[in-house]
Every structure is written in C-alpha cells, then in structure tokens.
A = this chain, B = another copy of it.
Amino acid sequence: MPDFVREIPEGDTRERMVCATCGHIDYQNPRIIVGSVVARGEAVLLCRRAIEPRRGFWTLPAGFLELGETAEQGAAREAWEEARATIAFDGLLAVYSITRIGQVQLIFRARFADAEARFAAGPESEEVRLFAWDAIPWPEIAFPSVRWALEAWHAGATAPLGAPAGNPAEGL
C-alpha cells in the first residue's frame, strides 16, 4: 500500500510522488491523444459528444493512446469506437502540445477504407455526420484543437502532406 510523499528523487530535477515505504516513483507525464480528420471528398467526419466534457459539441474521432498500440492503431481504434468508421491514413496532419492539460495530440489525415464510407454513432457519440466545409457548425466545435486541425486539413486537403502543423500562435 503506497504512502506517497512529494520529493525530488536523487538524480532528478523535479518533484515526483514517491512511495515512502518502497521508494516507487509515480512519474506523471503528458498523455498522447490520437485522432483523425477523416474526409470524403470535401466533407469531414465529426462526432457529437455523448459524454463530458463538452457533451453535445462536435469533435474529431480521437482519444487516449493505449499501451501496446502504435499511434496509427490508436487513431484507427478511436475512429471505430466513436464513429464506427474503418479508416486508412494519408499521414500525420498536425501535432499540438496542450500544456494546460498535459496533452500532446497527434492528428492524422485519413480517408474511409471502404468505398461506401460507412459510419455510425459509437457509444460515446450522440450522432456522427459528414459535414461539407461550409456546413461545419463552428460555434458548436468542442475544443480549439479540433478547429485548428480542421483548418490545417482545409489548408492542404488536396496536397501531399508536408511537415505537420503545430500550435497556432493563439494556442501556445
């Protein structure tokens, strides 16, 4: 039964939670979000959140990378879990560091793997839809980084992928 105290371990430079009994160090590091802008032609796939935070707002299929997954496998799993979509990747569209909440987000540019572009709401989504660019409900987008990723996608949607976008100046 760990009994944690806050201290700087030998050889370290930061305070960590350390078990006073066994010396185990509970490192807390940023977590990785993996997600995708899944497009069909000029339309992009968005999910209306059935869970907090930002329930009822629209987001990309995205979530925490799990142990044992590559970044792409995690993004594909999230597209299935949240939007019942089977996707294929073009490459990495954007990398965002959201320091306030300890996240690094890896957002891929993706397509539907099936010609029918099948999708449906998974358990964490109230609704899933393909939105034409001009129909995206901007005031109902769940998080700033969803907007950043959509804008990065739109800026280069038909071009080969270059270096991934980073945080815009407003989001540093």
Contacts and interface: CB of A to CB of B under 8 A. Distances in A.
Main secondary structure of the interface of A (DSSP, over half): loop
B64 A29 contact: yes
Task: Give the bracket for the number of chain A residues in contact with chain B.
Answer: 35 or more
Interface of A: 1-3, 14, 27-32, 64-73, 91-92, 95, 97, 99, 102, 104, 106, 160-164, 166-167, 172
Sorted from nearest, which 10 A-B pairs have the closest CB atoms? A70-B97, A161-B163, A91-B163, A1-B1, A67-B102, A29-B31, A71-B97, A30-B65, A68-B99, A1-B3
Residue of A1, A97, A102, A162 most packed against chain B (CB within 10 A): A97
A163 B27 contact: no
A149 to B, nearest CB: 15
A104 B65 contact: yes
Contacts of A31: 27, 29
A95 B34 CA distance: 13
